[in-house]
Amino acid sequence: MVRISIVIPARNEAGNIPSLIDGIEGACAGGPEHEIIVVDDGSTDGMDAIVRQRMATMPHLRLIRHDRSGGQSAAVHSGVMAARGEIVCTLDGDGQNPPEELPRLYAPLMAAGAERIGLVAGQRVGRRDTLSKRLASRFANALRSRLLKDGTRDTGCGLKAFRREAFLALPYFDHMHRYLPALFARDGWEIAHVDVSHRPRGAGRSNYSNLQRGLVGAVDLLGVMWLLRRRKRARPAETGTGQE
């Protein structure tokens, strides 16, 4: 039975996806039974053909395709919906998230007494990005943390592990992947954090610019603040009839 589903949202990452799949296989060897789900978010570089070729010899490798690009959150959501495991791990398709970190992410969710942990969030150390990207991320993370009080230093890290059913109970919106700690906490889950390493991009280029992230982030932040203020506060508890 599959216990861990590893979801890779990717668009035009034909140059990175083979080594990423190989890295996941090596990192998860000997661990709980797993599956790998590549979500092709409307690629035009033939990435889907590469994944299908690998599927011929890897029965636990799966491919989900979007007919057009819907963005990273849409790709993650499609992958989680298709997942068979109770625990889902995510990492970016550009190869910058080392797959060797995956066992450190799902382990806390499988530990005894960890039933209240809903999300394990990776936090990058030693980021291998351009200076402008690091500065923009630092500003966005500081603003988000101050306003949402989510206790997370780096929500933009693609390395995360969470309980599938808890994720699917969250309100869906584009770019929600950047607010998962706040959203999980909103539903009463505990959040764990793991410092993870980071790599330079292996091939290709980023699908998003700092300006694009900043413009949509400002609107999304206001929306998440609205969601947090209007969360359900009552907790239901079923009671007996009083009859023996």
82-126 pLDDT, tens digit per residue, is 999 999 999 999 999 999 999 999 999 999 999 999 999 999 887
Residues of the chain with pLDDT under 50: 209-211, 214-215
Distances (CA, A) of 96 to 2, 88, 100, 113, 180: 26, 19, 11, 32, 20
Asked if residue 183 is part of any domain, the answer here is: yes
Q: DSSP string spanning the chain?
A: ---EEEEEEESS-TTTHHHHHHHHHHHHTTSS-EEEEEEEES--SSHHHHHHHHHTT-TTEEEEEESS---HHHHHHHHHHH--SSEEEE--TTS-S-GGGHHHHHHHHHSTT-TTEEEEEEEESS--S-HHHHHHHHHHHHHHHHHH----S-TT-S-EEEEHHHHHTSPP-TTGGGGHHHHHHHTT-EEEEEEE------SS--S--HHHHHHHHHHHHHHHHHHHHT-----------S--
pTM: 0.84
Q: Which domain holds residue 17?
A: 4-229
- pLDDT, residue 120, reads 98
Q: How far apart are CA 206 and CA 156, in angstroms?
A: 14
- pLDDT, residue 54, reads 97
Q: Which residues are 61's β-sheet partners?
A: 36
Asked if residue 125 is part of any domain, the answer here is: yes
Total structural domains in the chain? 1
**Among 195, 1, 180, 175, residue whose Cα is nearest residue 83:** 1
Asked if residue 138 is part of any domain, the answer here is: yes
Listed in sequence order, the residues at least 6 apart from 62 whose beta carbon sits closer than 8 Å to its beta carbon are 35, 36, 37, 38, 55, 82
Question: Which sign, positive or negative, has the C-alpha torsion 213, 217, 220, 224?
Answer: positive
Asked if residue 237 is part of any domain, the answer here is: no
Asked if residue 110 is part of any domain, the answer here is: yes
Listed in sequence order, the residues at least 6 apart from 152 whose beta carbon sits closer than 8 Å to its beta carbon are 121, 123, 145, 181, 182, 191, 193
Asked if residue 201 is part of any domain, the answer here is: yes
Asked if residue 165 is part of any domain, the answer here is: yes
CATH number at residue 216: 3.90.550.10
Q: How far apart are CA 116 and CA 191, in angstroms?
A: 9
Listed in sequence order, the residues at least 6 apart from 122 whose beta carbon sits closer than 8 Å to its beta carbon are 97, 101, 105, 154, 157, 158, 159, 160, 193, 194, 195, 196
- pLDDT, residue 218, reads 63
Asked if residue 29 is part of any domain, the answer here is: yes
